[in-house]
Each structure stands twice: as structure tokens, then as C-alpha cells.
Amino acid sequence: MSKNITLPGLIDPHVHLRDPGQTTKEDFLSGTSAALAGGYTTVMDMPNNVEPITTLERLEAKLAGARTQVVCDIGFHFGTLGDNFEEFPKVINKVMGLKVYLNVTTGNYIIDKPRLLDIYKAWPGQKPILLHAEDDVSDLVLSTLQAVPKATHICHVSSQAELEFVIKAKEAGLPITCGVTPHHLFLTDKDAERLGTFGHMKPFLKPQADQDFLWQHLGYIDVIESDHAPHTKAEKEGDTPPFGVPGLETTLPLMLTAEAEGRLTRAQLVEKLHTNPARIFGVTPDDATRIEVSMDEHEITNDALQTKAGWSPFAGRKLVGKVTRVVLRSQTVFENGQVLASPGSGRIL
């Protein structure tokens, strides 16, 4: 039976739009088009570009590129390798947060771990520090947060141990939030065997028991973040396949299908895809921004995707929840598979 629902515009605080530097994988126009197709009206882009966004100058260049291209609203996270503290006060009013890599991932932006405390001391004001922090670094994160209790968002929590750490830190009253990706909620290490390099991402897919723990403790998960990490098929099939999977266009259908199966409530879905990311990153909600979604079943196909990556680890899945219209500040910007907004009409946060 056909049914349509209306939701607030979704907010994704964790995407990699590859612009500038790797625009064959994605660019501001294709990435924000994928966002609209997935029901997102605001995305926040990570700083691990080919030239990482660690100076005001690079940030300004990135902003200038975005300004003429984006079709949804976009904010930017700043980057650090622990050697650019003089840039922090210059960029603080132009970014949403500071991203710090404590584990190896795409690009080579991992910091020297002893620098973490200095980074915390140097980051001015209240905007969140986002950590890529897998299991092995949880003691370091805890001691740093105890010494300098600044708002911290743990990205893409994927294992029981990581979520237990977040729960412990929350219960100790530390200012910590966390995100979980759809691939860690809907794929396991079993799928990784089937997907080959197309299932390679950081953190890696985990055993079923870890995934079960995430679902059983959904109340502690603040945000569902796509970690949209587009790479081309050729790269994924090549000799040194990069980590990462696209996710902007499949996250909402996956979550709405889970809701239909009774795995979470509508209220939880809206909280994790809209309300909590808005609160954590200081995005002001807009009453005239909404999405309309068809609850008919549809199959995820690579051909229909807006992302330049052109593939999804969820291709072939039959899901409910296809975005039919996106209204941004009273304007219809996406309808029936077509982006109607002109490039540059999205706002820079």
C-alpha cells in the first residue's frame, strides 16, 4: 500500500565530498546532489582532502569552491596534525568542529598520539572535537577528556568495546557524543567476504555480536552518520583499494526499513538523523525545510545514484523510504530523482 511521510531535512555531520583534489570521485555538486537524493538538507564535510584542510588559506579555497556548487547547506570540519594551532583562532568562526585522526585511514592524517592533549588545550571555544578513535585508543581519549573536558564526538563507533567506552564516559558525565554508520548497523564481516574490497572501510565491518550490541544500545547512539566516502569502482578494484563506502543515498531507506521492522521508532530515527546532529553541531532548524518520502518498496540500484562513485554496498537490497521531494526554505530543490536547485543555492554554514 502506497503511503507518503514527511520528515524534517536530515543532517549528516560526517561526509567526504573530495572537493578539491579528488573530484573524479565526487565534487561539491555531485556530493550535495547525492545528499538531497538521500533526504539530507545539511551535510558537514571532513578535512581529509588530498591537501588536508589545516590552514585558513586552504579552508578559504575550499569554501570558495563550495559557494558556487552546493545544492544543499554545508558546513566544514577543520583538520589538524597537531602542528597548526596558530590557525585555530583564525578558522573557529568558519567551521563546525575539529577532526582528529587517531587511527590509520584514507589519506595519512594520523596524529602523534601524545599531541592529543595539546590539541584539546589549543582548540578554542565550545565547538566539538570529532575523533576517529577505534578501540586501542580509548584510554588516551578518556584521560584527555578528563584533563580537558571539551565537547567530543566519537565518529563511526562500530564495536561493542567502543560503545561500552562511550557509555562509560557518558555515565561519568563527560561531554561525549557518538555516531554510528549505517554500514556498521546493516553489514557484518560476513558481508565483507561477499563484497570484497567494496566492503573495505575504516573501521572494518564487525562480527554480528558487535552489530547486535549497537542495536541493543541504540539509546546511547546520538547520531547516525553516513561517513559517505566515495571512491571509484576502478580504485576499489585496483591494487591498493582505498577504505570507504558511499552512504548518503541509502542511509534513510535503511533506517526507515528498520523502523518498519520494529527495530527503532520514528522518534528515534528523527532524533539521530536530525535533532541530535543539529544540537551537537549548532545547526538552527528551519520550519520551511522538509522532505517527502514514499514508503513503497524500491530496490537500490547503482544506476540510480547521484554520487559519482556510482556504486553502493547495498545495491540489490529492497527497502522502503524513497525520497520523492526535498523542500529547502520553501523551495522544491529535488523532486522524483531530479535536482532542481541551481548550483550555489545551498548555504555555507
- Catalog residues that contact Zn ion under the rule CB under 5 A: 227
Nearer to ligand NCD among residue 8 and residue 182 (C-beta) = 182
Q: Counting beta carbons within 10 angstroms of the beta carbon of residue 249, is it exposed (0 to 12), middle (13 to 18) or buried (19 or more)?
A: buried
**Distance of alpha carbon 124 from alpha carbon 91, whole angstroms:** 10
Q: How far is the CB of 314 from Zn ion (least distance, A)?
A: 18
In whole angstroms, the minimum distance from the beta carbon of 108 to ligand NCD comes to 11
> Which residue is at the shortest CB distance from Zn ion?
227
**What does the alpha-carbon distance between residue 322 and residue 36 come to, in Å, rounded to a whole number?**
11
Beta-bridge partners for 7: 291
* Ramachandran sector of residue 82 (left: φ over 0; alpha: ψ -120 to 50; beta: rest): left
CB 278 within 8 A of CB 41: no
Which residue's C-beta sits nearest to ligand NCD? Answer: 244
65 to 24, 84, 263: CA distances (angstroms): 15, 23, 40
Nearer to ligand NCD, 82 or 343 (CB): 82
Residues that bind ligand NCD (CB under 6 A): 16, 48, 105-106, 132, 201-202, 227, 229, 242-244
* Strand 129-132 to 97-101 pairing: parallel
Q: What is the smallest separation between the CB atom of 204 and ligand NCD, expressed in angstroms?
A: 9
In angstroms, give the least distance from the CB of 330 to ligand NCD.
Answer: 34
Instruction: Specify the DSSP element, H or E, that contains 114.
Output: none
Nearer to Zn ion, 210 or 227 (CB): 227
Least distance to ligand NCD from the beta carbon of 106, Å?
3
* Residue 39 or 107 having the CB closest to Zn ion: 107
Residues 6+ apart with CB under 8 A from 60: none
Supply the Cα-derived Rg of the chain in whole angstroms: 19
Residue 45 or 73: the one with the smaller Cβ distance to Zn ion is: 45
Quick one: how far is CA 44 from the chain centroid? 7
244 binds, among ligand NCD, Zn ion, none (CB under 5 to 8 A by kind): ligand NCD
Choose among Zn ion, ligand NCD, none what residue 106 binds, the Cβ cut-off being 5 to 8 Å by kind: ligand NCD
The nearest distance, CB 287 to ligand NCD, in angstroms, is 32
Nearer Cβ to Zn ion, position 81 or 304? 81
Of 26 and 227, the one with the shorter C-beta distance to Zn ion is 227
Q: Which does 201 bind (CB under 5 to 8 A by kind): ligand NCD, Zn ion, none?
A: ligand NCD
Residue 274 DSSP symbol: I
In whole angstroms, what is the distance from residue 55 CA to residue 78 CA? Answer: 8
> Minimum Å distance from CB 198 to ligand NCD?
12
Q: Are 102 and 131 in contact (CB under 8 A)?
A: yes
Which of 340, 255, 256, 337 minimizes the C-alpha distance to 303? 337
Cβ closest to ligand NCD, residue 162 vs residue 227: 227
Element (H, E) at 258: helix 251-260
- The CA-CA-CA angle for residues 104, 106, 107, to 5°, reads 90
Report in angstroms how near the CB of residue 157 gets to ligand NCD at its nearest.
Answer: 13
Binding-site partner at residue 105 among Zn ion, ligand NCD, none, CB < 5 to 8 Å by type: ligand NCD
Closest by Cα among 6, 74, 5 to 228: 74
